[in-house]
């Protein structure tokens, strides 16, 4: 039996963080996965731990043995406990200790890929984070859904998970497709091996309205995501940042919903002849 594995972190009242996997049948909605995780935590006496796309995300699909498969068929899920991450680092932390501490305490790096990071690189990152403080993840507040053709499903899922914390809400049975997002926005993405790169013909970009806009530019640069048009674009009553996903789709990240205007603003929009607004 193939199952989905959801990587999960939950903070305990004592400050320690529980790290565990939630195993569910393929196609289980994210909301249902969160319910399973909360039921497990309640059984442990952890009532108020946050469980959403910022703490629990799809990781991969794997084959399981018949005992685990039977449990999932009967109860809907199986928990695989991994470790309890202490609130404080040991006096002589290993590379793994440092990575787990970052995942537990800095949400923007909770599901980051640390492969290739040396001990020194991880230690330097943690020192910088401790100095700067933890920035909350980018939280998208609006848009219903977009249906996008992508060149590589897994690459696209990884990008939106890294930048916006989007979880996989549903896998499309029998095809290379998925619905990703959170409670505010859904992207339906389908892989087409013949797809090369998104064209701007008839489509310029889609916009995502976010919280904590002042922190977004630093977050994007820390994640290595190129920012278009030289940085923050200042509009009449709002500000925007522009990036591209791995398929070439341009994304506007906006400070205020709809630019905080009731009528069409004059001036060129980035991607339509360039930005003429003063920065």
Q: How far apart are CA 187 and CA 234, in angstroms?
A: 27
One domain, residues 110 and 153: no
Per-residue DSSP letter, 227: P
Q: Left if phi > 0, otherwise alpha if psi is -120 to 50, otherwise beta: which for 231?
A: left
Res 236: pLDDT: 82
Q: Is residue 279 part of a domain?
A: no
CATH number at residue 80: 3.10.510.10
One domain, residues 165 and 121: no
Which residues, listed in sequence order, are joined to residue 62 by a DSSP beta bridge? Answer: 3
One domain, residues 160 and 75: no
One domain, residues 13 and 128: yes
One domain, residues 88 and 190: no
One domain, residues 149 and 74: no
Per-residue confidence of the chain (279 residues) as pLDDT tens digits? 999 999 999 999 999 999 999 999 999 999 999 999 999 999 999 988 888 888 999 999 999 999 999 999 999 999 999 999 999 999 999 999 999 999 999 988 999 999 999 999 999 999 988 887 655 555 555 555 788 899 899 999 999 999 999 999 999 888 899 999 887 788 899 998 888 776 656 677 888 888 889 889 988 999 999 999 999 999 888 899 999 999 988 999 998 876 655 434 333 334 433 333 322
Q: Is residue 15 part of a domain?
A: yes
Q: Is residue 229 part of a domain?
A: yes
One domain, residues 217 and 193: yes
Res 172: pLDDT: 86
Q: Compute the half-sphere exposure of residue 131: CA atoms within 13 Å on the CB side of its CA.
A: 6
CATH number at residue 156: 3.10.180.10
Res 235: pLDDT: 86
How many separate domains does the chain show?
A: 2
Res 269: pLDDT: 39
Q: Is residue 265 part of a domain?
A: no
One domain, residues 251 and 191: yes
Q: Which domain holds residue 123?
A: 2-132
Which of 97, 132, 167 lies at the terminal end of a domain, its last residue?
132
Q: Is residue 37 part of a domain?
A: yes
Q: Is residue 32 part of a domain?
A: yes
Res 272: pLDDT: 39
């Amino acid at each position: 039996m193939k199952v989905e594995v959801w990587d999960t972190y939950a903070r305990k009242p004592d400050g320690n963080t529980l790290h565990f996997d939630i195993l569910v049948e393929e196609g289980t909605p994210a909301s249902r996965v969160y319910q399973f995780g909360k039921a497990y935590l309640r059984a442990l006496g952890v009532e108020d731990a946050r469980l959403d796309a910022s703490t629990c995300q799809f990781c991969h699909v794997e084959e399981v043995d018949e005992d685990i498969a039977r449990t999932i068929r009967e109860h809907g899920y199986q928990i695989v406990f991994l470790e309890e991450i202490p609130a404080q680092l040991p006096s002589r932390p290993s590379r793994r200790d440092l990575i787990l501490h970052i995942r537990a305490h800095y949400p923007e790096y909770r599901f980051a890929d640390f492969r290739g990071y040396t001990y020194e690189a991880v230690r330097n990152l943690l020192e910088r984070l401790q100095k700067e403080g933890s920035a909350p993840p980018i939280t998208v507040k609006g848009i219903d859904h977009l249906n996008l053709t992508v060149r590589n499903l897994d690459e696209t899922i990884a990008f939106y998970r890294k930048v916006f914390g989007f979880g996989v809400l549903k896998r499309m049975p029998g095809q290379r497709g998925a619905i990703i997002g959170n409670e505010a926005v859904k992207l339906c993405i389908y892989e087409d091996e013949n797809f090369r790169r998104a064209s701007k013909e008839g489509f310029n970009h889609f916009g995502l309205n976010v919280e904590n806009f002042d922190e977004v530019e630093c977050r994007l640069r820390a994640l290595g995501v190129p920012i278009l048009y030289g940085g923050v674009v200042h509009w009449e009553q709002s500000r925007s940042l522009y990036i591209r996903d791995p398929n070439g789709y341009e994304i506007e990240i906006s400070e205020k919903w709809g630019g905080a205007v009731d009528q069409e603003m004059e001036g060129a929009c980035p991607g339509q002849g360039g930005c003429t607004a003063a920065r």
